[in-house]
Structure 1
Amino acid sequence: MSSSISRSQQKQPKEPAAPKLPTSLAVARLPAHDLEDDRTYRSMAFTGIDLSDRDVEIADFEGCRLVDTGFAGTRLRRADFVDVEFERCDLSTMAARTTTMRRSRVSSSRLTGTTWTECAFRDVLFDGCRADLVGFRFSTFTGTVFRDCSMSEANFQNADLRGVRFERCDLTRAQFSQAQMDGARFADCTLAGIGGVTDFKGAIVRSQDAQGLLYVLAGALGITIEQ
């Protein structure tokens, strides 16, 4: 018997744990289910609801599905999202601090200019999102995947990205200064003009992606590349 292992038999990267949603969800409606301080939203379906420009100290979402729901400009502090699905939601310019997200999925949503400061993400998938200018400063990620996302000028300064996967993402001019990168994986990503390239120690980058790092790394080391 051959000791070689075929590609199909090789261990595949582990996907984030999927959200555990109840089979039946109550329908959320305004004003009864507006976003308010110190409130828990459990086993609910939010569809086409505008929750933008709210200012909330504490809010918990558990086992909820949010579709075409708006959080634009909303400010959250110490919020908690557990087993939550966001689909086609507008989170642009939302500001979240010391917020957690676990076993959740954010797909086909807009995160332009959103800031997640000192937040924690565990088993989260960001899939097909527009996330230019998004900020994740001082945030921590465990078992998190960014897939098919447009993330130009994203800010991961001082973030803990150990083990995070970026797949087919545009990270042009993204900032990684002082980030922890051990085991972070980049596959089929655009890495042109990124900041903090000298902090990529421990990251795993596919050979074709590494070409985009060449000029940035050379510039950081004071090397001139001639044609």
Structure 2
Amino acid sequence: MPVIRELGALPYARFLRPFEGELEVGGDYTEMHFEGGDLDHEDGGGSRIVESALTGLTLTGVKLDRARLDDVWISKSRWIGGSWSDASLFNVTILDGALAGVQAYGGIWRKVVVEGCKVDSLNLRAAKLRDVEFRDCELTEVDFGGAELNNVTFPGSVLRRARFSKVTVKTVDFRGARELDVVEGWDALRGAVINSGQLAEAAPALAQTLGIVVKDR
């Protein structure tokens, strides 16, 4: 998926207005630029964020439960804790940032690119991901348990201790991943695509999952 890398290249860049104040439950934020500084434990649950940009932020414990993000560009921002449960993300780009301990279970992500990010303990349980790309990311202990995965790819990314228990796979392609470490859910990944090198590395875990005993003598 094509990615816009500069704020000024956004089709709505010239309409952006600086955000002032605090997030509000059920707020409506259109053509806003959330720039720099810290947002601590603010609650934007149920809000709409449309054609907006978030740059250079540190967001700690921020709640966006049931929020809707449409055409949102996020760059060089750090999300620490907080929740995006049941949130809807459509045409969202997240660049060169970090997601740590974010609770994003039950959400709907469509046409989302996460690039150059460190992603740690992201909870995507029971989420629905369609046309989602994790590109050149470090993903550690990300939980996809029970999620529905449709056209999800991981080019250039490292997955460590990933969990895929009870996922529904429509199209998942791991071939571009630089490292693929799955600690739960190999049995649920029927239909996913891996390369021969990944198969060799995963062989012990696959054998254990299938109950195969490997003996040389």
How high is the TM-score relative to the length of structure 1? 0.86
Q: Which runs of 5+ in 1 are unaligned?
A: 1-14
Q: 2: CA distance between counterparts of 1:92 and 1:225?
A: 42
The residue identity in structure 2 corresponding to 1:95 is: S
Deviation per residue, 1:33-75 (Å, 9 max, x gap): x211121111122210322211233211111111112222112
Aligned twin of 1:172: 160
Aligned twin of 2:89: 101
SS in 2 for 1:161: strand
Aligned twin of 1:198: 187
Shift of 1:113: 1.0
Greater C-alpha radius of gyration:
1
1:35-54 map, 5 Å: 35-54=23-42
* Closer/same/farther in 2, CA of residues 21 and 84 from structure 1, 3 Å limit: farther
Q: % of aligned pairs identical?
A: 24
* Residue in structure 2 matching 1:24, options 4, 11, 14: 14
Shift of 1:185: 0.5
Question: Does residue 223 in structure 1 map to residue 212 in structure 2?
Answer: yes
SS in 2 for 1:65: strand
Question: Does residue 208 in structure 1 map to residue 215 in structure 2?
Answer: no
Aligned twin of 1:144: 132
4+ residue runs over 6 A deviation: 16-20
The residue identity in structure 1 corresponding to 2:27 is: R
Query: What is the CA RMSD across the aligned residues, in angstroms?
Result: 2.0
SS in 1 for 2:80: coil
Deviation per residue, 1:83-123 (Å, 9 max, x gap): 10110111121211110011110011110111101100111
The residue identity in structure 2 corresponding to 1:208 is: G
Shift of 1:29: 4.1
Question: Does residue 58 in structure 1 map to residue 46 in structure 2?
Answer: yes
Contact 2:173–2:192 (CA<8 Å) still a contact in 1? yes
* Closer/same/farther in 2, CA of residues 115 and 16 from structure 1, 3 Å limit: farther
Task: Count residues with an aligned counterpart.
Answer: 211
* Closer/same/farther in 2, CA of residues 65 and 56 from structure 1, 3 Å limit: closer
